[in-house]
Amino acid sequence: MFERRTGYTLRAIAVGTGQALALAARGEADVTLAHAPALEKSYVASGTLRNRRLVMSNDFVLAGPAADPARVAGTARAADALRRIAGAGARFVSRGDNSGTHALEQALWREAGVVPGPPWYIESGQGMGATLGLAHERGAYTLSDRATLLAFGRRLALAVMVEGDRSLLNVYSVMEVNPANGPRVNARGGKAFADFMVSPEAQAVIRTFGLEKYGRPLFVPVAGKRDEDP
């Protein structure tokens, strides 16, 4: 849609948020879509990224084996559930990759007052799909965005244990890259893509994306809102 509308050719590089922001800061990208608000704001404050705008949201969930060895199912607060998991020494698989998901997980452990570690804490160093697969194999808990869990869920013996906590809100933002970051930054193209992502046309697609396949949309369009609004 973007290419037809603008005439630009888009090359998408799918990496974790930490790596995406670092690439942009080095001038190796023209625009970035990320989901780690605190980290994003630090890059905007430094001047390497600019014009941060909200695009869409979904939520994170704490998933785990049906046996629920730490008895966390239905816990209202994710941090309380993590504290129980640590107390029980139940296995937990972390992405451990400086992604937006990993950043949130680390914040939740801090809120829980727990420093996770071996033998029950396992770092996959991989993306969300591989991390969910490892949690399935090890009978472990993990933190996942709901969209990826829905996409992989039929192949995995993992159930949603904790959901609905405000701290589990997952907000995606688009940011333009400062052309001063490098000589190859296409600032005009980056702005065109950022503008497209918050346009009514793109937001309409986001509103129904995944509905036909999963029976529910995977994201909620939030263009024009502020961080405190979604």
d(CA 172, CA 33): 7
pLDDT at 99: 87
d(CA 142, CA 61): 8
pLDDT digits (tens, 9 = 90+) for 36-60: 899 999 999 999 999 999 999 999 9
What average pLDDT score do residues 10-28 get? Answer: 94
Comparing C-alpha atoms, which of 184, 197, 180 is closest to residue 1?
Answer: 197
pLDDT digits (tens, 9 = 90+) for 142-172: 999 998 998 887 789 999 999 999 999 999 9
- Residue type at 222? V
Domain range list for the chain? 2-57+169-221, 59-168
**Quick one: pLDDT band at residue 3, thresholds 50, 70, 90?**
very high
pLDDT digits (tens, 9 = 90+) for 114-145: 999 999 999 999 999 999 999 999 999 999 99
pTM (two decimals): 0.83
**Quick one: pLDDT band at residue 227, thresholds 50, 70, 90?**
confident
Q: Which residue has the tokens 């991390």?
A: 131
Comparing C-alpha atoms, which of 41, 148, 182 is closest to residue 136?
Answer: 148
Same fold across 2-57+169-221 and 59-168: yes
- Bond from prior residue into 217 cis (ω within 30 degrees of 0): no
Comparing C-alpha atoms, which of 227, 79, 57 is closest to residue 167?
Answer: 79
Half-sphere exposure of 4 (CA within 13 A, CB side): 3
The architecture CATH gives domain 59-168 = 3-Layer(aba) Sandwich (3.40)
pLDDT at 121: 98
What average pLDDT score do residues 21-46 get? Answer: 95
**Quick one: pLDDT band at residue 230, thresholds 50, 70, 90?**
low
pLDDT digits (tens, 9 = 90+) for 168-216: 999 999 999 999 999 999 999 999 999 999 999 999 999 999 999 888 8
Helix (H), strand (E), coil (C) string for the chain: CHHHHHCCCCCCCCCCHHHHHHHHHCCCCCEEEECCHHHHHHHHHHCCEEEEEEEEEEEEEEEECCCCCCCCCCCCCHHHHHHHHHHHCCCEEECCCCCHHHHHHHHHHHHHCCCCCCCCEEECCCCHHHHHHHHHHHCCEEEEEHHHHHHHHHHCCCEEEECCCHHHEEEEEEEEECHHHCCCCCHHHHHHHHHHHCCHHHHHHHHHCCHHHHCCCCCEECCCCCCCCC
What average pLDDT score do residues 91-102 get? Answer: 93
Pairing type for strands 159-162 and 92-94 reads: unpaired
Mean pLDDT (the chain, rounded): 95
pLDDT at 151: 85
d(CA 98, CA 87): 25
Q: What CATH number belongs to 2-57+169-221?
A: 3.40.190.10
pLDDT at 226: 87
